[in-house]
Structure 1
């Protein structure tokens, strides 16, 4: 296989060459490491690392003086554990809001992931800050979560190199998670990129279907934040919803050690094996 082994790096991706054209569009080459490998197969990435890579590519072109408030990644197909090419550009420039986009393709030119984000200029609104929605009271503090054991449902349901790259603290109806890997080797993670390296696990947190019997793979991931995380540990409380016609939706609530920070939405493809 063409991926980089864990002996070489503690990151999900290695960055290669990069260039910028006159319009400000940035082209960058990345190579996936084995830490991206999903439970679905040794040649396929888990959805979290490419979501984090999309976010990394978008933040590289984001203006100064603001931050991203929403990131959406569209998973167009299986993301190979191999060399990838990212293109990032500003679609809608502006002084107060910007719309940004990034696309990831494989060596054959096949588009595998597309991402978009809204950026807003920041200013002081601390007088309006509140602790979040009432359901936030149900979030279990990290200090009350337990150490994972060999029978921890998340570990037994989702084995593989990506899961092995995570620190976990399970709690009733919730999972605290952080990654031990950086997104791109040699590049400091941002609060957004670190969050996106774990946000995709929401779909596997409320596990009411047996992954040995059912495929419930998400086709996208949308994360909206009213506040940037201030700690590496992210708490995820997710709710899986299954429709009668092969579609589903996972809705997640995100928090850090200080409290609620935002939410996730993932559209699901439901299919029974066999």
Structure 2
């Protein structure tokens, strides 16, 4: 896709700022919860175990955490080990801080702070994403075209994502989908950058009306698509500009769910990639 470089509009700036805030909130939420939890557990272990036993347990735990999920790729292993060492040391420091607190009043205050931390975590983890999703579907993404619907909503129009996804030419396919999915005001800063698809094939039994015989056959009963939308704050005009981007949202769409009159328990699955 080719776009001309231009000055960011007010709507584009608002989206960029909001997506940055969303990214920062996710990381702040994880860190504040993990650190406060480590302090809280440090307080709980007071009087239960000795300091030497705590240090031994934490050392074993930290080594297991650092060594877990290591890739065979040397570069990835190196960066992963460094990052996990940093996180483990932060957790260790927070835990030992809670363990070393001797004031009952301060312990009670930190216990209350941990409860507040849990509440903040729940709000940002489960409530805020719904508001952010509502904003995206209300202002930026075309729900009808994507086939995102609830019980009682009309079926997707004839001009929909699932038809355009069958276009054999990749360039034309992505151009059409981006053009129809993203509102015009945001097409210079958001892009549907990746689509992964998978067909579901299964068995189908049916009875012939004339012979009353039951037949068995295979058929494609569903197609699922994983869509990854990314934000490009500096546009797509040059490779250097397009290198700086981040994931905005990921959608998992089902063609079967989009074209059935019966509502599904989970009509739409959405996830925001979260990095440690």
**Between structures 1 and 2, the one with greater strand share:** 1
TM-score (norm 1): 0.24
Tell me which structure has the larger Cα radius of gyration. Answer: 2
If the length of structure 2 is used for normalisation, what is the TM-score?
Answer: 0.24
